[in-house]
Amino acid sequence: MSSTTKIATIRTYHLRDHLEEPFGFSQWYYDTRNTLWVEIVAEDGTAGWGECYGPSEVYQTAIDRFYAPRLLGQDALATDRNWQLMWRASLDFARGGVMMGAMSGMDMALWDLRGKILNQSVCEMMGGRHSDTVPCYATGMYFKEMPEDDLIRSIVDEASTYQQQGFAALKIKVGKNPNFDTQQVESLRHALPDMTMMADSNHAFDLPEAIRMGRVLEANDFRWFEEPLSPEFENQFRQLQDKLDIPIATGECEQTRFGFERLLRTGGVQIAQPDLAYCGGPSEALKIRTLASAKGINVIPHAWGTMLNLASATHFLASGYREPGRKEIDALMLEYDRTPNALRDELFDIPVVVENGVATVPTGPGLGVIVNEQKMQSFVVNQTELKV
Ligand SMILES: [Mg+2]
């Protein structure tokens, strides 16, 4: 191992921004945005950046106190080896959950770092740049505290804005209550007859409710029904899919190839949605894609958070393929969260550029997005540093 590729320093940054207007979904409302960023620096000073999806304070402790001491001095280029090292260190008490989320941010930072050291972009290291652009779908239409009639009007207005911005697809929230959900879906389809639409309940329904909601979505030509059921009731997915024609998408709460193997084995999931900042990182997402491919299932990452995770998902899709594939086929779409987030939109000198509903795949080394560390500092709640 060249001494320049040894991991020399690991820093974490807990960033927070308060929202002017809270927004919600079936489970709760957000009034702040938080993220945990990881910076892994090699001995030559090259730095890679990663992001964890979930509770930032917990991630900060997990990385600073548990994983970082084990990775210092290791070969920065050995992403799989480092993943195994972290996995075996925590396997006995954490086969998943926040420890795996912490590993995900570490792994993402290591992919960014490896790309910068080797002067290759992440999609090239993932197998090749199949495409220079990735079509996006706009995620938004969250709930707000207002009378339901007003909320539906507001959601239809928001969706129309995305259409005017050039998006051909969008995803809404369902799971507020059955009357609202149905009225919302019908109003949107009436207002935007040509828009590709998906709906996400964030595991809000029991099986009979999910069947009824799925039929409403089918009648309104929705493309997929996301997280219709609790991730704990894996076998209900097959029961639901047997009743519906609309494809079922899920997986943002799932982790590792082992978790996805159990989930996909049910035969009730048509689209797998690991989050690269939670599922085990880019390394594990590639293994999940291979596993899904062997079952004829496509992987469309869940992407929430900042440009680090968005860039990771963009590279993942740009290096991907569709099962079973054919000459004339629509590309898999990148999730592009449109809810307010200064941590995503204000802290990058080079972001993932999205125009007319299409993302340009970054061409710089690693993730190809550049953090503005000066701007970042005004959002830092707490930071840590560990050196060799
Ligand atoms: Mg979702």
pLDDT in tens, 47-67: 999 999 999 999 999 999 999
Residues by chain with Cβ below 5 Å of ion ligand 1 = 200, 226
User: Is 138:171 a contact under the CB 8 Å cutoff?
Assistant: yes
Mean pLDDT value across residues 82-90: 98
Tell how far the Cα of 302 is from the centroid of ligand 1, in angstroms. 7
Residue 304 has what pLDDT? 94
196-200 and 225-226: which strand pairing? parallel
Name the average pLDDT for the chain.
97
- What is the amino acid identity at position 98? V
- What is the amino acid identity at position 139? T
pLDDT at residue 1 above 60?
no
Mean pLDDT value across residues 210-229: 98
Residue 321 has what pLDDT? 87
Tell how far the Cα of 252 is from the centroid of ligand 1, in angstroms. 6
Select from 104, 65, 222, 200 the least CA-distant residue to 143: 200
Tell how far the Cα of 261 is from the centroid of ligand 1, in angstroms. 19
Euclidean distance between the first and the last CA atom of the chain, given in angstroms as a whole number: 16
Exposed, middle or buried by CB within 10 Å (0-12, 13-18, 19+), for 70?
middle
Tell how far the Cα of 136 is from the centroid of ligand 1, in angstroms. 15
Mean pLDDT value across residues 201-228: 98
Alpha helices in 119-166 (DSSP H): 122-125, 148-164
Select from 243, 211, 252, 207 the least CA-distant residue to 25: 252
Tell how far the Cα of 250 is from the centroid of ligand 1, in angstroms. 7
Q: What CATH number should be reported for the domain whose range is 3-119+374-387?
A: 3.30.390.10
Tokens representing residue 271 in the block: 């689209």
C-alpha span between 80 and 88 (Å, rounded): 12
pLDDT in tens, 97-128: 999 999 999 999 999 999 999 999 999 999 99
Which residues touch 328 (CB under 8 Å, ≥6 apart)?
none
C-alpha span between 118 and 232 (Å, rounded): 41
Catalytic amino acids? 302
CATH architecture entry for 123-370 = Alpha-Beta Barrel (3.20)
Mean pLDDT value across residues 68-88: 98
Tell how far the Cα of 139 is from the centroid of ligand 1, in angstroms. 9
pLDDT at residue 2 above 80?
no
C-alpha span between 20 and 252 (Å, rounded): 27
Tell how far the Cα of 225 is from the centroid of ligand 1, in angstroms. 10
Model confidence, pTM? 0.98
Q: How far is CA 94 from the centre of its chain?
A: 21
Domain extent listing, the chain: 3-119+374-387, 123-370
